[in-house]
Amino acid sequence: MDINPAAGTLTSLYPAAAVVDARQRIILPGFVNAHFHGESVLLRHITRRTPYALWETLSHLGVARARLLESSSLPDVAALHRIEGFFHLRSGTTSVAEYPAPYTPALLEVAMDQMAASGVRFVLALQTWEQIEAVRSSPPGERQYSIALGPEDGYTTYSLENLLRASTATQIPLAAHLGEVRAEVEALRSRFKKSPLRILKDAGVLLPSSHLIHCNHLPEEDLDIIRQVENTVTLCVRSTVAKQTGYPLLRPLASRDVRICLGTDWGETDLLGEIRVLRNLRKYVPGTPAYSPLELIRMATINGAHALGIGAHAGSLEVGKHADLVMIPLDDLRLPAYGSAPGAEELARIVTDYCDTGMISDVMSRGVFRIRNSEPVRADGRELLREFRRLQELYIPRGEREDERAPGIPLVPASQGEKTPLMGHGETGGEVSREQTANTSPPGTTPDATLQKFPMVTKKIGKVFGEDDV
């Protein structure tokens, strides 16, 4: 991809290339979602309005997750991650750190194939030894991975040593889903007599390439270690609020100049929404750092790319990098007046203060348009909608679906020919034609029996958003 103010110059240099008129458009690097659970695109309807500490009481959640792990669910897993890829792209995201369900290698392969086919670049967190072995024995390719350290209550000296050996042998960096809730941190300190980051550092698994996620309840000494090792911390602010798992350590991290990137964690795919929350949070929570618009854009782009080890290819618009970009038209009445030659800071302010995903007109990934004029280019929007409805019928109890009518993806058929946007949770955008579809009844399942296949870890929450750490 090349950029030039004169179209004639481009056509003379590249006679076979298409020239896109991007005048009156803001061009941003494709967003980098540094932490996301793909199955939450579907399962968010079960967990809505329920604190994370009570998820273990949601029998429907255990049933649905267990069914997704069955080998017979391969077509459902394929459809789920095909839809996930579209949600990310329609939100302007071109790179994702994916924490999938603990699939078998066969199911994981299908999920990876579908995300890659969508055009999204993903860094996949391997969460089981079976997954690690499958990747170790597969031929090298373009796919990128991390090795998850697993839940904190599973940390042992032996497990950390084994994971470090696996990381060294495969040259795959480690990722730590750390300190999301206070009880996990306290349990680690009780068992090891050390803080979480000290445990990881002493075990040799904390390196500059290590991906740290959440970190809501780390003590001050751990933040100093993060700064010394020069790690990037992935914050998922809206998810923290929704799940009631704590308060992100914004001020302590800012005081140490720790690099921050953003993830949406569960359900949401909208990084512009994460940016808006951080932009406005200081109005409601005194002491929150006042991030500039450019800082916030960097958190959602180049900082995430650095954290995931893909900064050489993604996260910024530079010569030699892949053409991952997002376009937002400036000729929108919802936007404020701007100067004749607005600079980067002014354009960033327009994005952070006024734009939402519904304003994104075009998304390019690796030089290929995936969203063009608000419509998917290489996906059939109507088919995606049918597939999503089928999954909802199979996995989400009817009462859950009727209460949560996800914006943009109605769960109740409308009249013939009515138009509705097909988007992710809380998003608006391109339109597709809706048709009446027949409901399919989910097969009978015994919740108690299924839950035994997918045990859920108890999370005790001792702190809620806004308390203590401000």
Query: Parallel, antiparallel, or unpaired: how do β-strands 144-148 and 368-372 relate?
Result: unpaired
> For residue 68, what pLDDT is reported?
95
Give, in order, the Cα–Cα distances in Å from 435 to each of 145, 374, 382, 398, 413.
39, 20, 9, 19, 7
* Mean of all residue pLDDT scores within the chain: 83
Task: Give pLDDT tens digits for 15-32.
Answer: 877 778 888 899 999 999
Is residue 355 scored above 90 in pLDDT? yes
Is residue 422 scored above 50 in pLDDT? no
> For residue 400, what pLDDT is reported?
61
Separation CA 104–CA 66 (nearest Å): 12
Structure-model confidence comparison of residues 232 and 453, the more confident one: 232
Structure-model confidence comparison of residues 412 and 216, the more confident one: 216
> For residue 244, what pLDDT is reported?
93
Give the mean model confidence (pLDDT) for residues 164-185. 93
Separation CA 312–CA 319 (nearest Å): 10
* CA neighbor of 85 nearest in space, from 306, 269, 263: 269
Separation CA 172–CA 140 (nearest Å): 12
> For residue 428, what pLDDT is reported?
33
Rounding to the nearest 10 degrees, give the CA dihedral for residues 390, 424, 127, 69: -10
> For residue 242, what pLDDT is reported?
92
Task: Give pLDDT tens digits for 25-81.
Answer: 999 999 999 999 999 999 999 998 899 999 999 999 999 999 999 999 999 999 999
Structure-model confidence comparison of residues 283 and 263, the more confident one: 263
Give the mean model confidence (pLDDT) for residues 438-451. 35
Q: Which of 218-232, 348-362, 394-408 has the lowest mean pLDDT?
A: 394-408
Task: Give pLDDT tens digits for 284-299.
Answer: 888 899 999 999 999 9
> Which stretches within 37-156 are classed as H helix?
40-47, 59-68, 74-90, 105-118, 129-137
Radius of gyration for the alpha carbons in the chain, expressed in angstroms and rounded:
22
> For residue 401, what pLDDT is reported?
52
Collapsing DSSP to helix, strand or coil, 223 comes out as helix
Q: Which of 162-176, 258-272, 444-458 has the lowest mean pLDDT?
A: 444-458
What does the domain layout of the chain look like in residue ranges?
Answer: 27-375
> For residue 441, what pLDDT is reported?
35
Task: Give pLDDT tens digits for 360-417.
Answer: 999 999 999 999 999 899 888 889 999 999 999 999 987 665 444 433 333 333 333 3
Does CATH place domain 27-375 in 3.20.20.140?
yes
Structure-model confidence comparison of residues 458 and 217, the more confident one: 217
Q: Which long-range contacts (CB under 8 A, 24 or more apart) does 401-408 make?
A: 401/45, 404/45, 404/48, 406/45
Residues whose CB is less than 8 angstroms from the CB of residue 384 and which lie 6 or more positions away in sequence, other chains included: 82, 83, 86, 376, 422
> For residue 15, what pLDDT is reported?
81
> For residue 251, what pLDDT is reported?
94
Query: Parallel, antiparallel, or unpaired: how do β-strands 211-214 and 174-178 relate?
Result: parallel
% of the chain exceeding 90 in pLDDT: 65
